[in-house]
Structure 1
C-alpha cells in the first residue's frame, strides 16, 4: 500500500496531538494518582481510536489493509500486556511515587515510539533489499516462542539494566531523591538530573528491547511500513492506562506466555512459508490475513479466559 508523505505527516501529527491532550488533561493541577475510572476511560478511548483507524483503512484502502492492521494491533497489544510486568518491576526498583508513574510511562513510551519508528524504517528497507531476512525473522520468532514456553515458570525478581541505561547512570550526575516530577534541577549552581529521567530512560529502552520480537512479528503479518508503524503506535498509546487498569490482574494471566508463544510460533511459520512461496516452492501455501486474524484473536481470547478460570479455581482452593 503506497501512502503519501502527507498521510504519514497527518497521522503522526494526529497521534502526537492526542498524546499531548492526554498529558495535559491528566497532569494539570497537583500531581495525583491515576484512578481506575480514568484508566478505564482512556483504555476504552484508545481502543476505540484504533478501531476507527482500522475501519478507515477498510473504507479508504482495502479489506486486506484493514485486516493486516487489526492483526498487527492485536498482536502488538497482546505482547505489550506481557511487557507490563517488567514495567511494574522497574517502578518498584526505582521507587517511583504512584502519582508520578503515569507521567513516567508516557514519556518512556514516547521515547519508545520514536525509537521503534527508526527500527521500523531500517527493518522495512532491509527486508526490501534482503529477502532472506524473512527466513531469519521466521526462525527467530519460532525460537522466541520456544523460550516463552521454556521460561514460563521463571519469575523475574530483578530488573537487569541495559547498556544505554548503565551509560546514562555513568554520564549524568543524579540527585539522591525525586524532586516532584522534574527531570533536572539545579543544586549549588550545578545542573543535575533526578531519578525521574533515569526511570524514563529505563522504560523507553526496555520497550525497545521488547520490539526485537514484536517488530519481526508484525512484519510477518504485513510488509507495509505504514501499517507496521500505526499498529505499534496505537498499541503503545494506550499502554500506560492499561498499566493502571490491569494492576494485579497481570498475576492472574498465568497462561499468557503460552498464548503469546503460540501466536509468535504461528507467525514465524507463516513467514517461512510465505518466503518459500515467493521463491516458487510449489508446496508452500500463502496464508491469507483473515486466517492470521482469526488465529490471533481466538488464541488470545482462549488464553485470557482459561487464565482467569484457573486463577478463580486457585482462589477457591486456597480459601477452602
Structure 2
C-alpha cells in the first residue's frame, strides 16, 4: 500500500488536531465527565475510526480494509486492558476524580509517541530482516502465557514502583495535590506534586505496553500506514471510554484470558509467516518452509469471536457479578475515605450511596462467593471507616446549618 507524503501529513495533522481539541475543550478545565458526555464522545471517536477504515477499504481494497479493522479492534481491546493498570495507578496515587482526565490524556499522548517510535523501528527491521517475525511471534506467545498467570499488579504499577521510588529520592515532592499543577510551593520552595509522579508512572507503563501491542498489530498487517492509523485511532477516545466503562472494568474478569488467546493466535500467525519467509540457515537450510498461512479475514473473525465470547462470559458469569460488587464497593469505600472535607457534598453523597447499594448486593451473594473475598477483615474495617466518616460529616453538616440559621 503506497501512501504519499501528502496523505501522511494530512493524517498526522488530523490526529494532532483531535488531541488538541480534546485538551482545549474537555481537559483544560478540570471536571468530572457525565455518563452522557463520555458516551457521546466515545461514540464520536469510534465513528471517526470506522469512517477512516471504510475510506481505506474503498480506496485500497478489501485486503487493506480488513487489515485496518483487525488491527484497530486488537489495539482497542489491548487499550481497554491498559485501563486496568491506569486505574490501579490513579487509585494508588489517590488522583482526584476531576483531574483524572488530564492524567489519561497525558498517558494517551505518551503512548502514541512511544508506539509511533516502535512502529517505524519495527517496520525498518521487518523490511530488512525477515527473521524479526520469529522474535515478534515469540514475544506475543510469552506475553500470552504471562497474561494467564495470576499476578499482583500492585508491585509493578502501584505508587511504590521502582521508577517512583527513584523519583522520590532524587526530587522533593509534596504530600498533597495542588489542583492539577505539576509543581507547587512548600515552605517557600518549589517542589513536585503527586500529579507529576502519577504522569511519570503512566508514561513508564505506556512504554511497556507498546512492546506488546506493536508486535501484535504487525502480525496482522505490514503496512506502516495502517499500523500507525489503527494504533492512533484505537488510543483516541480512550479517555472518554475510561469514564464510560469505569464501573465495568472490574467486571470483565475473563478479559485477560481473551486477550491471551488473541495474542497467542497472532503469535502463531507470525511464526507461520516467518517460516513461510524463512531465510535462517539452520531452518530448512535457509529455504522457505511450506506452511499454512492464516488470512487476515480469518484473523478478524477469530479476534471478534474471542472478544465477544470473553465479554459475554464475563457479564453473565455469577462469579463476575460477585467480583464486580466487591471490587466496586472496595473502590467506592476507599474513594470516600480519601475525599477531602472540602470536596463537593453532592459527589460525596453519590459515592456513599453507591457504596451502600453495593454492600447490600454483597450481603445477598451466595456464601461461596462471600468466602472468596480477599482481605475480608481489611475490607470490613474499610467499610467501618467509611461509615464513621459519613456519620461525622452528617453531624458536622447539621451543625453548620444550625449555625447559619
One fold, TM greater than 0.5? yes
Q: Distance in 1 between matches of 2:147 and 2:129?
A: 28
Q: Distance in 2 between matches of 1:266 and 1:87?
A: 26
Which protein has the larger Cα radius of gyration, Structure 1 or Structure 2? 2
- Within 5 A, what are the aligned runs for 1:211-250? 211-250=210-249
Aligned to 1:183: 182
Q: Distance in 1 between matches of 2:148 and 2:319?
A: 22
What stretches of structure 1 of length at least 5 have no aligned partner?
none
Q: CA deviation at 1:157?
A: 3.8
- Within 5 A, what are the aligned runs for 1:129-140? 129-140=128-139
Q: Does 1:44 align with 2:43?
A: yes
Q: How many residues align?
A: 317
Q: 3-state SS of the aligned residue for 2:191?
A: strand
CA deviation map 1:171-226 (0-9, x unaligned):
44333321111223455775433221221121122122111111111111111111
Q: CA deviation at 1:23?
A: 1.7
Distance 1:83 1:311, change over 3 A: farther
Greater RCO (CA < 8 Å, at least 6 residues apart): 1
Q: Distance in 2 between matches of 1:163 and 1:124?
A: 31
CA deviation map 1:239-274 (0-9, x unaligned):
111111111311111111111111111101100111
- What is the TM-score normalised by the length of structure 1? 0.91
1:108–1:204 CA contact under 8 A, matched in 2: yes
Q: Does 1:289 align with 2:288?
A: no
Distance 1:235 1:311, change over 3 A: farther
CA deviation map 1:78-115 (0-9, x unaligned):
11111211111100111110000011110121112112
- What is the TM-score normalised by the length of structure 2? 0.73
Aligned to 2:305: 298
1:252–1:311 CA contact under 8 A, matched in 2: no
Q: Does 1:156 align with 2:163?
A: no
Q: 3-state SS of the aligned residue for 1:101?
A: helix
- Within 5 A, what are the aligned runs for 1:85-234? 85-151=84-150, 154-158=151-155, 159-160=157-158, 165-185=164-184, 190-234=189-233
Q: CA deviation at 1:286?
A: 2.1
1:107–1:200 CA contact under 8 A, matched in 2: yes
Aligned to 1:32: 31
Distance 1:313 1:304, change over 3 A: closer
Q: Distance in 2 between matches of 1:37 and 1:165?
A: 35
Aligned to 1:18: 18
CA deviation map 1:135-185 (0-9, x unaligned):
11112211221221233xx45344356665555444443333211112234
Q: Distance in 2 between matches of 1:137 and 1:82?
A: 20
Q: Distance in 2 between matches of 1:205 and 1:271?
A: 27
Q: Distance in 1 between matches of 2:183 and 2:130?
A: 46
Aligned to 2:315: 308
Q: Distance in 1 between matches of 2:176 and 2:194?
A: 7
Q: 3-state SS of the aligned residue for 2:148?
A: helix
Q: 3-state SS of the aligned residue for 2:231?
A: helix
Aligned to 2:6: 6
Distance 1:124 1:166, change over 3 A: farther
Mean Cα deviation higher: 34-43 or 263-272? 34-43
Q: Distance in 2 between matches of 1:296 and 1:185?
A: 47
Distance 1:237 1:165, change over 3 A: farther
Q: CA deviation at 1:54?
A: 0.3
Q: Distance in 2 between matches of 1:84 and 1:217?
A: 18
